[in-house]
Amino acid sequence: MKLSITIIITLFFCSLLSFSQNYDLSGLQGLQNSNGEVELEMSGYSISIIPYKGYLNNDGTIKSIKGLLNLNTVLAEYSEEKFGTENKIIESELPMGEKTKVKTNQACYIFKKADGELTILLFQTLNQRDIILEQEVSKAYLANGLSAYISKNWHTPSITMAGKTIGLDSNCQWRAPRNLDCDNGHIRWSEFSSFESANLDINNRIDANNALNGAILYEEDIEVMFINIPSWAHRIVYQTDNKPLIVYYVVQEVNGYYVSCVMTNSGLDQNDYYLTPLLQKVMSIPQLPDNAFKPVYKPEVQESGWDSEWDEDLSRAIFDVRLGSWVPVGALSKNFKAAPSVGIFFGGIIKQKFKLDLGVDLALPVSKNNFSFIDNNYAYETKTTLMVNIALRFHYIQEVAKNVYWKPYVGIGCNVLETDLEKEYWDEEESKWESITTLDLHGGVSIQHKKVGCFLEYHFLPYSMGGKVRKNFGNSALNMGLFFTF
């Protein structure tokens, strides 16, 4: 009996001491968005700080918060007097799916900020909960002690991993704290005080990703250099709708920190061991397997970036210069036989495999014949001297062989036929020659090898809709030729 009482007293004082100790929060990293919402990361925890309108003692408010934060499986609800302010704590768990037993452990701390205003601190982790960490972060928030860990800059030229600063080649963007996107690469990491905690985190993330991603094509352990330290990476290739997704999972001690790191890039197949520039900053593979190949890197699309199907040269190409000839079809061929042309188009990739460009073609008709130009119900005999075509085009880009691209496209614009008939009245700001302007609807296809290609287009040109020519004037033409990309 005396022994039991002694144990109880000892545990009580140990618990009290652990709650009152000065908990080290130096591992916190936080980001704040334009709405004032804050995301933090520490020791595998994702921590959200969310302002909310409502009242703690209102059942409707609490129900609404549960729905908003997916607190579906509530384990406990209570208040904690030690915070010295009105609060409610909701403990919950969120299953990751039927394919895994891994679940997200959730702890929602709700504090009264002012009358009708609340602040929510949502703690989520795939690992075992650290109640002391949750309480210390909450106390730091109540004492206005978190601002030193929070940044508003979602773009970064460098990262700090395990106390080591790593410069990046381009301005990358945070997806969340310690969760970074850059070109075709993605890195997410956490830092722990023990190997066991870091290893548990990486195993839980493997199980969770296996449940969320597609079927596993290949799985292996390979030797890597992680931040210049010999390490082992667990490599899994997942099948996705687009390209295989290649993920490297690493646990390693670095500068006294135990790092759990997940590194991701897409690949061509399971034997693709190429690392994107972001991943190369953190990891290398000294000895590739015999069946590995290293293809030329093709960057994935970003919101304002280039198409993944372009190779490095084509990704910089934004100008097309065209040399070709317009060939009238049907009735239009009675007015001229052909029109050698030169054109220039400017554009860029707007989404993976899609391109938008705008340009102009100038053509000089040859073998011209007279036709009737109608003005004020009077017909004048004239000939076409110049064709001007302005077009906006939308392309679909498909790589059919190495450096060979097939690009069907559609376009809309306007077409102008200038004649040798002088206007009765004109000023210096306009052409003195009469012209016919019409809508241009066209479709075409091009084949390109590296920077040179050929094209063929069909144009529907309803010239008679403006009343300047007769209905039998003609409305169809082909345009074909070569183009050069710069």
| Best CA proximity match to 478, nearest among 291, 279, 327 | 327
**Residue 104 is encoded by which pair of tokens?**
């997200």
Within the chain, all domains assigned CATH 3.40.1000 are found at: 24-150, 155-284
| Residue that the structure tokens 């000892």 belong to | 10
Q: Could you tell me whether strands 404-422 and 398-401 are parallel, antiparallel, or unpaired per DSSP bridges? A: antiparallel
Helix, strand, or coil (residue 456): strand
Q: Domain 314-485 is in which class?
A: mainly beta
The 10s digit of each residue's pLDDT in 109-133 is 999 999 999 999 999 999 999 999 9
* CA pair distance 121, 49, nearest whole angstrom: 5
Scan for tokens 């040179």, then name that residue: 452
Average the pLDDT over each of 13-27, 76-90, 235-249, 412-426 and give the range with the smallest value.
13-27
DSSP string for 145-194: --GGGEE---EEEEEEETTEEEEEEEEEEEEETTEEEETTEEEEEEEESS
| Alpha carbon distance 366, 386 (integer Å) | 10
Most distant CA pair in the chain, distance: 122
pLDDT of the residue at 109? 97
Mean per-residue pLDDT over the chain, rounded: 87
Per-residue pLDDT tens digits for 416-434: 999 999 887 777 778 889 9
Per-residue pLDDT reduced to its tens digit, 184-219? 899 999 999 999 999 999 999 999 998 888 789 999
Residues 313 and 329: their CA atoms lie apart, in Å, by 37
- CATH fold, domain 24-150, is Protein Transport Mog1p; Chain A (3.40.1000)
CATH topology of domain 155-284: Protein Transport Mog1p; Chain A (3.40.1000)
Q: What is the pTM of this model?
A: 0.58
At residue 319, what are phi and psi to the nearest 5 degrees? -115, 135
- CATH 2.40.160.20 in the chain: give the residue spans: 314-485
Give the range among 98-102, 350-354, 407-411, 452-456 with minimum mean pLDDT: 350-354
Return the SS3 of 134. helix
